[in-house]
Structures are given as C-alpha cells and as structure tokens.
Structure 1
Amino acid sequence: MSKQHKHWRRARQALTLAFFILVPVLLFSVLKNLDWQEVYQALASYRWSTLAMAAGVTLCSFALFSSFDLLGRYYTGHHLPARRVLPLAFVCYAFNLNLSAWVGGIALRYRLYSRLGLKVATITRILSLGLLTNWAGYFAVAGGLFVCGLPKLPAGMEIGNTGLRLIGAALLLTVMAYLLACAFATRRTWHFRKQQITLPGIRLAALQVVMGALNWSLMALVVFILLPQGASYPTVLAVLMISSIAGVITHIPAGLGVLETVFLTLLHATYGKGTLLAALIGYRAIYFLLPLLVATLAYLILERLASQRASGESSQTTG
C-alpha cells in the first residue's frame, strides 16, 4: 500500500469521525429548545389521505428503484425473469436504505442473485450499473438545482451560494461527460482487478439518468407531501440532495440524524422545528421503516423459495 493511499485513507477516516461528532452536536443544538407537544400535534393532525398519498409515492419510488436491476438485466444479458428480479431488487434497496450499502446493496444482492444462478462477475456488473444509475440521477438533479441557486444557504456557511453553484456546474459537466462518452467513445471496454467494465450505449445511459433523477424527485415528493405550505418543492428537493450526500459522507445508516440536522438548519426560517421534525418522522416511517418491514417478509419468502429450488434440484440429481 502506497504512502499516498495510506494518507488518503487516514484523511477519510478523520473526516468520517469529525462528522460523527459534529452531527450529534448540531442536532442537539437545534433540538434543545424543541416543543415536543408541537411535534405530537403535527403528527396527530395528518389526514389519512395525506399519509396514503405519501405511501403511494413511496410505492412508485421503490418500483422505479427496483427497476434499476432491470436495466442491469438488459446490460448484462442474463435471463432471469422480471418476476424474480424485481422482488429481489426491492429487498436489497430497502435494506440498503436502512442498514447501509454493505448489507443491502452488496451482501444481500450477491447472496440472492447467486442463489438464482448468476455468476459473481454478472452480479458485480448489475450492482455497478445500479449505483451508476442512482448517482447519475443525483448529479443531474443536484447539479441543476445548485446551479439555479437552490437551496439558499444561511449566512456564514463557508461554501456560500457561489460555491454551491460551482459544485452544481461540476456535477452537470460530469453527467454530460458520461453521456458523451457513452455516445462517442471508441474504446468501450476496460479491465480493472479482473473485472470487465463496458460503457453502455447512449440510450441506456440516458435512461439511467432519467430514472435516477425521477427516483430522487419522488423521494423528495414524499417529504413535500408531509410538510404544510411553505417551502417550494424544488427547495425541498435541493435540501434532500444536500442531506443525502452528507449521509453518504458520514456512513451513518439511513443518514440518521444527518437528514434531520440538514433540514432543520436550512428550513428553520420557513417551518417551526416541531412541524418540520414531525414531517421528517413521517418520512422515515413511510419511506424507510414501512418498506423495510415488507422487505424483511419478502426476504424470508425468497430464502424459502431458494431453499425449495435447491432441494428440488438436489432430489433430481440424486434420482
């Protein structure tokens, strides 16, 4: 391992540790004078129609999220039917959001796909394309919002609104570079650590960006539905973009505490703390915990079906 690599790893660990310390401190500072009665009243005031609408948008989001693996099926050329791919992908993404990528996005995906007969190299390519779809959509949405000056950062933040616009421009240029490479690159295949990396065609790449961007937009729509009138939808979406990348940097599962800190910091002038926290609690319950509950049941069913198939194949071999 090179000295440069060691220094980079130590710097990344130090940054992660700093966020682990900073997030609880910031969260405590914004919640220390919170009126919990206001939170309770805001939660109790939700209409069933509002909750049903948020749940419906969540369903659409996870259906789209799971369809990332259908892009992976097209990209790799494997022949598992959609009726097997979609439940598997749903389980993996629900666990991923709640328990980190290593549990849901990686470990579960390798286990479940391998039990359906896919090779490790194929699973790796499906996983890579799904990650690329998610972040290409993020770069497109966040880049566009940041360039437009959203969200408005409070005075005193070091990065400033100009810095945020520059970051947005960089994100958009990265997405454009990816699309141009997929459209015009002459060399389309590379090998890295015994893995083959192949650029998708421009149609698949464009579909990645659109699907990824739409999924992020649906996630923010759940929060927007649960909030009373105040901030515009683009503003809520932009705040979610910042909170999501902060959650990735800290490596905290489900961005617990990070999401709340960012929203309370950037939208405190528009909503009361109790009202805003109630919406975020509702968002976590509907978009994170409810899908996790369903995914846990689905996972047990998938494991049982896989065991039955394995037993049947074993019986046929013995016979």
Structure 2
Amino acid sequence: MKLKKYLWSIVGLVAVGFSVWLLYKELRGLSIEELGDSLAAIPLRGWLLAVVATLVAYGALAAYDHLALLHLRKHVGWLYITISSFTTYAISHNIGASVLSGSVVRYRAYTSKGLTGAEVGVLVAFCSFTFALGTVMLMGIVLLLVPDLAERFVDVLPIEATAASGIFLLCLVALYVLGSALGLRPLRIGKFEIHYPRMDIVTRQLVIAPIELIAAAAIIYFALPEAGNPGYLIVLGIFLISFSAALLSHAPGGLGVLELVFIMGLSEMEPADVLAALLVFRLLYLIIPFIAALFVVLFFERFQLTKQAE
C-alpha cells in the first residue's frame, strides 16, 4: 500500500534522474558564461512577446474549465474560474502527476461552489481530454506540414511518424466530432458515464484546445535567436513531443525531460541558446505562476477558515 501511495513520486524522481543524466551528456561542454550570454542576447521584443504568449496560454487554460462547466451545466463566475484554473495548472505543472495534483486543487475550489465530487471528477477528465484533443489535432497538422519531424529524434524515438500518421491523428479527432454530432450513447465504466459534449461545446474545444499549446510553444520560439532557427512549426512540433513526454514522465515541472527533447530536436542550434529559451519558458510559464498560485491557495484557505469560524 505504501509503495502504491508513492508510486508516481518515485516514477517522477526516476524520470528526473535519468533525464538529467542524459542532459548532462548532451551539455557537458557548455559553460555558465555561454548560457548567460545567450540569455542576455534575447531582445526586449522577444521578452515582451513571450510574456504576451504566456498570458494567452493561461487564458486558454481558463477556457478549458469554462467549457467543462458548460458541459456540466454549472454556472460559476468567469473571474473565479480564471483564478481556479490558473492556480490548478500553475501548481500541477510544477509538482508533476498533473491529473492527481490538479484534482486536489479543483476539488477544493469547485466544491465550495456547489459541485459534487463526481462532478469535479468529470470536470478534471474533460479538461485533460481537451488538452489531449489539442495535442492530437496539432500534432496531426504539424506532421502533415512537416512530415520529416520525427527524423530529428531518430536515435531516441522507437517509432516513425509521417504525413500518414498526421492523417490518422486527424481522423481520430474527426471520429470524436462525429460521435458528438450523431449523439452517440455515453461510455459506461461501472456506474460512471462519460457523455459526448454537445456540438457547440465540441466546436469550441476544437478552437480553444490548440490555442494554449500554440501560445506555450510561442514562449520558447520568441526567446530563440534567428540564427539556425528552423521556424515556428518545427518548434511547435518539438514542444508537443517534449511537453507530452514531460507530463507522461510525471517529473516535477518536466525537469530535464523538456530540456533533453528540445536539445536533441534543435540540434542545428547552439545548445546554450536553446537552454536559455527554455529557462525563459520555465520562468514565465512555470516559476512565476507557481509562486503566485501559492499565494492564491493561502488566501483561499484563510478565507475558508474565516468563513467556517463565523
């Protein structure tokens, strides 16, 4: 029982250790001075665009929760949704095991607004699926436009991906849309039912789901120099692979995993420049939101205690 309780923590720590070891092999010739020079070389325009991209990404994440609540036919104010979503993702992205850690924060936030535990479970599943939908759809589009993307990871990925793979991924998205359009019966798992969202919600998912990923990848793209830059589509494709690998690894903040995949995927660029761009991403997308989220949690819990004491 104890081993099961700490399983994902162990998996995350092992993933971090292995990734850091591989990353060390890739970067052992890199000096702190080179990294500092690469950070200093990022222009003000790049920083400003990266900040805007961060705001867009977190705005899209709030829309995930909003769509889930629409699916549940529950009304919660936009400001509350935005703060709850921001706190959830800022903490879960940094802690790792995002579904589990995100569930805890959402449970505290939304049960205080009248949702049941089961409804919060549906909300968490809906948001996770929306993220997966955006990833599959964007990956399909990227593989259609850049079919040789997988060749950048030929030495580390045991699979091949081509334009045909992209078509297959887009067909999966189309099947989901068709299931909603036809009003297929819900999927039953024991007593639990998963209903297809209404078509108007699915349409919004198809728009909102990719926005967060497009904006998050743009943070890194804007921080990269022009020299050797393969273009936004390549950066987006590598980001989708790296961010998905980071989430699957359950490594806190994807530590080491994100960097390793990007260093290998952007082999034509200076490692110091890639690492500097990833530090900007971590600062804007992970570290600053995480610090802000901790203050939000403290304020919320203090408010709840005061409310109970009255």
Residue 144 (1) aligns with residue 144 (2): no
Partner of 2:171: 173
Alpha-carbon distance between aligned partners in 2 of 1:246 and 1:155, rounded to the nearest angstrom: 13
Deviation string, structure 1 residues 55-105 (Cα, Å, up to 9, x no partner): 121012101111211111111112322222221111001111111215541
1:184 aligned to which of 169, 182, 185 = 182
- For each residue in 1:101-122, what CA deviation from the matched residue of structure 2 results, as whole angstroms up to 9, or x when unmatched? 1554111111222233321111
1:141-174 CA-to-partner distances (Å, cap 9, x unmatched) read: 0111123315252485375895344443332221
Moved more, 151-160 or 230-239: 151-160
Distance 1:298 1:291 in 2: 10
Show CA shifts across 1:114-144 (max 9, x none). 2333211111111111111111011100111
TM-score (norm 2): 0.87
Q: Equivalent residue of 1:153, what SS?
A: helix
Distance 1:48 1:235 in 2: 23
Within-5 A mapping of 1:98-117 = 98-100=94-96, 101-102=98-99, 104-117=101-114
Q: Which residue of 2 aligns with 1:5?
A: none
Aligned to 1:24: 20
Query: Which letter maps to 1:223?
Result: I
SS in 2 for 1:163: coil
Q: Distance in 2 between matches of 1:17 and 1:67?
A: 31
Matched, 1:35 2:31: yes
Residue number in structure 1 paired with 2:235? 236
Work out whether 1:82 is the aligned partner of 2:78. yes
The unaligned stretches of length 5 or more in structure 1 are 1-9, 313-319
Distance in 2 separating the partners of 1:74 and 1:127: 13
Amino acid at match of 2:37: Q
Q: What's the CA shift for 1:299?
A: 1.7
Verify the 8 A CA contact 2:137 2:173 in the aligned structure 1. yes
Unaligned segments of structure 2, at least 5 residues: 1-6
Corresponding residue number in structure 1 for 2:274: 276
SS of the residue aligned with 2:149? coil
CA contact (8 A) 1:94 1:104 kept: no
Aligned residues: 300
Alpha-carbon separation, structure 2, partners of 1:114 and 1:125 = 13
In structure 2, the partner of 1:288 is: 286
In structure 2, the CA distance between the partners of 1:186 and 1:282, relative to structure 1 (3 Å rule), is closer
Counterpart of 1:315 in structure 2 is: none
Give the direction of change, closer, same or farther, for the CA distance of 1:275–1:155 in structure 2 (3 Å limit).
closer
Match for 2:128 among 115, 122, 131? 131
Alpha-carbon distance in structure 1 between the residues aligned to 2:137 and 2:154: 27
For the residue of structure 2 that corresponds to 1:191, the secondary structure is: strand
Give the Cα separation in 2 of the matches to 1:182 and 1:43: 47
The CA RMSD over aligned residues, in Å, is 2.7
Q: TM-score, normalised by structure 1?
A: 0.85
Matched, 1:157 2:159: no
Matched to 2:281, the amino acid is Y
Residue 93 of structure 1 aligns with which residue? Answer: 89
Corresponding residue for residue 247 of structure 1: 246
Provide the rounded CA distance (Å) in 1 between the counterparts of 2:16 and 2:245: 11
Specify the SS of the correspondent of 1:254.
helix
Show CA shifts across 1:2-51 (max 9, x none): xxxxxxxx9x9x99898566423321211111132111111123334432
**Is 2:152 the counterpart of 1:120?**
no
Counterpart pick for 2:50 among 51, 54, 57: 54
Alpha-carbon contact 2:238-2:261 (below 8 Å) kept: yes
Q: Bigger CA drift: 159-168 or 206-215?
A: 159-168
SS in 1 for 2:194: strand
Q: What SS class does the counterpart of residue 196 from structure 1 fall into? A: strand
- Alignment partner, residue 267 of structure 1: 266
Q: How far apart in 2 are the matches of 1:193 and 1:20?
A: 36
RCO greater where, 1 or 2, for CA within 8 Å and sep 6 or more?
2
